[in-house]
Structure 1
Amino acid sequence: MTFAGFLRRLVPRGLLGRALLIILVPLVVLQVIALYLFYGSHLDVISRRLAAAVSGDVAMVVELLSRHPREEERGWIFREAAWRLDLSLAFEQGAVLGPASHRGASLPLLPLEEDLDDAMRERVRLPFDTDWQSDPRSVIIRVQLPDGVLHVEAARKRLFSGTLYLFVIWVVGSALLLFLVAALFMKNQVRAIRRLAEASEAFGRGRDLGPMKPEGAAEARQAALAFNSMQGRIRRFVESRTEMLAGISHDLRTPLTRLRLGLAMLPESAQADAQAMTQDVEEMDRLIAAYLSFARGEGIEQAAPADLAELVGEAAAKARRDGALVDLALPGEPIVLPVRADALRRCLGNLLDNARRHARRIAVALSRVPRGEAGTWAVVTVDDDGPGIPEAQREEAFKPFASFSSGGTGLGLAIARDIARAHGGDIVLEDSPLGGLRARVRLPA
């Protein structure tokens, strides 16, 4: 995997995550730069100055003790140091510093220990060590004198500036506050876009949820209004098409009825030709009724939860009643989907009728297959042992009244694909294990 591909995997895929990343990355970079400048300049200077002040006081005490070594003078020096310099002193007569008595600081990220050691070496110029661990409020400094060890206890606050805590709290607090405000704001904006996507998906599957309520930013509101307008135009188009087809059906069925009556009144000598013509008239009437029924269902029927396994079983049972040999394989659990049940029955019925006209054996199966992060597909396969359709001509088979050497398709496959696509799915034709044609219907589950 390339470095660019690795970075793309780290970047969030959602709009909310990417928007927050765009806000958060510059903020973190800015805060890191500010912290570095503070830590590398201001804090360093303050730490060196505080360490120099403490080591200077210790050096003054050491110098006074060297000039006034008597017992009574040492007591006076200790009292004055405690009062004027805020240092607690003690002297251990005849003691010697151990070689491994040095202890590290309890705040390793700060330069306190290093700055204090540098200042002590510069000002005291005697062997010493520091203890940062024994007392959480003080730093113990031990200095080797000619006749013993001087113990100096200095308050830790003399070496440490509380502005570091304030600065860190400000940096982290402001970053968290800005991130929280940005997250709440962006969540509202993304929610409007997500609702628009859900409404588009539902409308594409035939569920009428009504007009969307515009919300969010101006662009999101504009998109919602455009969607409402588009939804209204599509609904009016479907309604007008349904009314037009109803009118065409009425106008066509009237002359078809007259033709049927005329053919029935022909003399017996012409009944053989009349019977063939009557079958053609009935086929025309069936095609008109099928497409009109589909168009009306598309415009009127609303999607509702239904068990796909039950619908497949009903279609297989109807095909058996019509004389087909159907093998059925269903899952052990129901597959409930929001579908237009009558339209889906028509889709499955058209596929089975098409297989029944060209084959002797039919196998119907229902299963679930994954479709990545989007969920699963509910897949219905209809296999037959008929002559099939050449691979190069399978897409043409979905066009109305397509004709092949094995026979025609009429409107059945075209209507079936329209219904599947209206539910957010599709139909593809493949080679069947039975030797004929396989129609694979997939619907989002």
Structure 2
Amino acid sequence: MSKVAGMFSRILWFLAAVLVVYQAVSYVTFYNYLLAPTVKQISHLLANQVKLIFPVGSGQLALDDDGEALIYVATGSDIYTQLEAKKHGLAAAKPYAYLEENLSRELGGPTKVRVEIQNHYIIWIQPPQANQLWVRIPLTEIEDDDIEPLIIYLTVLLAITLFAAWRFARQLVRPLEELEAGAVAVAKGHFPDALGEQGSREVRRLTRTFNHMSYSIQELIAERNLMMAGVSHDLRTPLTRIRLATEMMSSGDEYLRGCINADIDESNAIIDQFIDYIRPDEGLDTHPIDLTQLIHDVLLMYTEQGAEVELALPTEAVWVACNPVSVRRVLSNLAGNSLRYGASRLHAELQEDSHWVRLRLSDDGPGIAEQDYDRVLKPFTQGNLARTNGGSGLGLAIVAKIVAQHHGTIKLGHAELGGLLVEIRLPKHQPLVWQD
């Protein structure tokens, strides 16, 4: 389906269809205006020659030897009986229905016509006036070799036309393929050199616009990274000074020092989340990992924090092409959010088919209102409960971004445990290009 839907295939099929229609129209035109009139004229001449030998209505059934000799000298035709005709080549001749119809109409009765091909064409005619005899008429001016150059010419013309159509379609589509490859690279965070402006005027304009867009995005990302590096440095510097200042507070202010340090840690965590979220996608380093083992290792660590973890995982390894650091971050964010907002039980279930894996992670926390499912996956948004507990509102947004980078999907719902259900669907093999 994808091959037929491609522009190159469509153009090639269109040009081939036009060529076929053109050939069909040319054949019909050639047949109606050249071949059919020629055959009719030949039929008329053959009928007149037969009438000269066997006049219509004469009742003549045979000629003597002198008459046959005179006919042969005058017209080059021979007259044979059925047995003699078979000896002289009638057995190798083939019927020709169109000539039979024309000659039957010209001679006023059913006529048999056979065509023998040697170096030239030989017409065998059995007229209604002498249905026991065959008239052998050689057409020495029409040779079989006369048709071969025409066939070769048409074959060469067809091959040249198909090659020209393929070449034209290739030249037309190649700039678009390069543009597609460049767009895929930009979407993955790689910025190629400026594409060559070639092809039609519209394609050249599109390529020029794409090059400008790619350069603008690259500059924007560079400026954003520089700004975030500066903001991170400028914010962490006073936070570090504040932490150092708290170390010089008296022991009687231990409670106040602990609160200040907790706020400093939360501020640093928020800064880290900001940087993680806006970090450009420069292409994930993916390779097959055992997702079952990864889920087992990450979630069991939360038992040390007092969580009750239930794992419904396959007994065999489930290999998925992904970035293990990013997937570990997804699991940590989801589990950490659940425990932060009051959950005490975590349940993880992993299923697979031939192309996809599905992870369902649920908890017994307060959950999220259904009308907020789509909203909380966006950056800097939180559920009503989360607003009272602090946070940056980037935890689920980072999860959604990582899942999208892996060409997967994420869906929120209500868990059987009473809390939030997060269902993540990932492909087992990462696609090399964007799929239709």
- 1:71-129 CA-to-partner distances (Å, cap 9, x unmatched) read 7xx21222233344232212479xxxxxxxxxx96456xx32221222222xxxxx653
CA distance in 2, matches of 1:48, 1:342: 84
Q: Is the 8 A contact 1:129 1:143 kept in 2?
A: yes
**Which shifted more, 214-223 or 349-358?**
214-223
What SS does the corresponding residue of 1:194 show, helix, strand or coil? helix
Query: How do residues 179-190 of structure 1 correspond to structure 2 at under 5 angstroms?
Result: 179-190=162-173
Indicate whether 1:140 and 2:135 are aligned.
no
- Residue number in structure 2 paired with 1:327: 311
Deviation at 1:212, TM superposition (A): 5.8
CA distance in 2, matches of 1:70, 1:440: 99
- 1:286-313 CA-to-partner distances (Å, cap 9, x unmatched) read 11123324545x36x5433312544x74
**Which shifted more, 425-434 or 12-21?**
425-434
Deviation at 1:46, TM superposition (A): 1.0
Q: Is the 8 A contact 1:205 1:424 kept in 2?
A: no
Residue from 37, 44, 49 that aligns with 1:52:
44
Aligned CA distance change for structure 1 residues 39 and 400 (closer, same or farther; 3 Å)? closer
Cα RMSD (Å) of the superposition? 4.0
Indicate whether 1:388 and 2:372 are aligned.
no
CA distance in 2, matches of 1:241, 1:309: 36
CA distance in 2, matches of 1:292, 1:70: 111
Aligned CA distance change for structure 1 residues 80 and 210 (closer, same or farther; 3 Å)? same
Deviation at 1:60, TM superposition (A): 0.8
Residue from 372, 397, 403 that aligns with 2:382:
403
Residue from 137, 152, 160 that aligns with 2:135:
152
Deviation at 1:397, TM superposition (A): 1.0
- Residue number in structure 2 paired with 1:194: 177
- Residue number in structure 2 paired with 1:305: 286
Q: Which runs of 5+ in 1 are unaligned?
A: 1-8, 94-103, 122-126, 370-375
CA distance in 1, matches of 2:100, 2:139: 11
What SS does the corresponding residue of 2:403 show, helix, strand or coil? helix
CA distance in 2, matches of 1:156, 1:255: 109
What SS does the corresponding residue of 1:403 show, helix, strand or coil? coil
Which amino acid in structure 2 is aligned with residue 15 of structure 1? Answer: M
Residue from 9, 15, 27 that aligns with 2:7:
15
- Residue number in structure 2 paired with 1:80: 70
- Residue number in structure 1 paired with 2:104: 117
Q: Is the 8 A contact 1:205 1:423 kept in 2?
A: no
Q: Which runs of 5+ in 2 are unaligned?
A: 84-92, 431-436
Q: Is the 8 A contact 1:46 1:161 kept in 2?
A: no
CA distance in 1, matches of 2:22, 2:377: 60
- Residue number in structure 2 paired with 1:365: 350
Q: Is the 8 A contact 2:179 2:195 kept in 1?
A: no
Q: Is the 8 A contact 1:379 1:443 kept in 2?
A: yes
CA distance in 2, matches of 1:328, 1:204: 36
Give the length in aligned residue pairs. 404
Q: Is the 8 A contact 2:362 2:419 kept in 1?
A: yes
Q: Is the 8 A contact 1:313 1:328 kept in 2?
A: no
Q: Is the 8 A contact 1:315 1:348 kept in 2?
A: yes
- Residue number in structure 2 paired with 1:124: none
Query: How do residues 414-429 of structure 1 correspond to structure 2 at under 5 angstroms?
Result: 414-429=397-412
What SS does the corresponding residue of 2:366 show, helix, strand or coil? coil
Which amino acid in structure 1 is aligned with residue 33 of structure 2? Answer: S
Deviation at 1:417, TM superposition (A): 2.3
Aligned CA distance change for structure 1 residues 201 and 24 (closer, same or farther; 3 Å)? same
Deviation at 1:225, TM superposition (A): 4.4
Provide TM-score, normalisation by structure 2.
0.76
CA distance in 1, matches of 2:82, 2:6: 69
- 1:253-278 CA-to-partner distances (Å, cap 9, x unmatched) read 22222333444444444433443343
CA distance in 2, matches of 1:242, 1:270: 39
Deviation at 1:38, TM superposition (A): 2.4
Instruction: Give percent identity, aligned residues only.
Output: 24
Aligned CA distance change for structure 1 residues 135 and 428 (closer, same or farther; 3 Å)? same
Q: Is the 8 A contact 2:185 2:191 kept in 1?
A: yes
